[in-house]
Amino acid sequence: MKQYDRFGEYMFDLLFAPLKKGKRAVNQFYIFFKVIGRIFDGLKEDALRVRDETNIATASPIMLPVHGQDRNMPRLKGETVEAYRTRLAMKGIISEWGGTKRGILYALAALGYEQSTIEPFGLQDPERWAEFTVDLGVGNQNAVRDIYQIYDEIQTVKEGSSKLAELIITLPTTYGQLPSSPHLGMRLSETILPTKEQALPPARIVPASRLGWRMSITTLPMRAKEDQNGL
């Protein structure tokens, strides 16, 4: 089947042979369809653009906030375009599993923490059976660094009767630039977060006493395995 790049050529080719005789430059039918064809070409481009813009995977950066409004998911501070696109695309599955452990893991993966894990805090203290610990693990290069935003996302997805007891982070966050190392994580107990007004400039290390965080250094299993391999 013959392929056409322009509507004008297609419409002209539909004519009977006698109407297509002579040079195209002076053929009035060809000139007419060439002009009308440009309008149809523009409509086709607009239709294809609408198709792309209504799909999160192919939408332009300027349209992503519109998709976010439909899903009540505004773009987070410092979030890259592709990270925001991924989070929007995962809205359905996060909502489907809301209130469950898997739902929290999906939400954290959408924030760039695919290696995050969740453990019940009741294993340490049976009386705190409704609480849980989140270890973010190592985030990807587009991971959200703002600890307040991470905390808010967990609070939004978790079960209403449960409580976040500990949040273990490995990479720096926007507020305070917590000490980081390939083999050390920072444990924030009780999720006692400072107010944003108390937060110090990102370039400075935040003293734990000023923020009200009870912190303890933990060694991640990944580093322990590397040490064993090196022996």
Residues 142 and 79 in one domain: no
Residue 1 in any domain: the answer is no
Nearest residue to 131 via CA among 143, 141, 122: 122
pLDDT band for position 139 (cuts 50, 70, 90)? confident
Domains contained in the chain, number: 3
pLDDT at position 61 is: 94
pLDDT at position 16 is: 87
pLDDT at position 220 is: 32
Residues 218 and 114 in one domain: yes
β 214-219/131-135 pair status: unpaired
The residues, ordered by sequence, that sit 6+ positions from 38 with a Cβ below 8 Å of its Cβ are 7, 8
Task: Report the mean per-residue pLDDT for the chain.
Answer: 76
Residues 133 and 215 in one domain: yes
Residues 17 and 125 in one domain: no
Q: Average pLDDT, stretch 25-52?
A: 91
Residues 119 and 166 in one domain: yes
Residues 177 and 208 in one domain: yes
pLDDT at position 22 is: 82
Residues 48 and 68 in one domain: no
Residue 94, pLDDT above cutoff 80: yes
Residue 213 in any domain: the answer is yes
Residue 145 in any domain: the answer is yes
Distance between CA atoms of residues 217 and 226, nearest Å: 18
Residues 96 and 85 in one domain: no
Residues 85 and 198 in one domain: no
Q: 79 lies in which domain range?
A: 60-89
Task: Provide the 10 A C-beta neighbour count for residue 114.
Answer: 14
Residue 219, pLDDT above cutoff 70: no
Cα 111 to its chain centre, rounded Å, is: 6
Residue 69 in any domain: the answer is yes
Residue 26 in any domain: the answer is yes
Residue 189 in any domain: the answer is yes
Residues 12 and 115 in one domain: no
Residue 122, pLDDT above cutoff 50: yes
Residues 146 and 203 in one domain: yes
Q: Are 172 and 178 in contact (CB under 8 A)?
A: yes
How would DSSP label each residue in 138-189? Answer: ---TT----HHHHHHHHHHHS-TT-EEEEEEE-S--TTT----BTTEEEEEE
Residue 2 in any domain: the answer is no
* pTM summary value: 0.62
Residue 225 in any domain: the answer is yes
Lowest-confidence region among 68-82, 129-143, 217-231 = 217-231
Query: Biggest alpha carbon distance in the chain?
Result: 93
pLDDT band for position 217 (cuts 50, 70, 90)? very low
Lowest-confidence region among 42-51, 88-97, 133-142 = 133-142
Q: Are 13 and 4 in contact (CB under 8 A)?
A: yes
pLDDT at position 47 is: 94
Residue 199, pLDDT above cutoff 70: no
Residues 41 and 137 in one domain: no
Which residue did the predictor score with more confidence, 171 or 86? 86
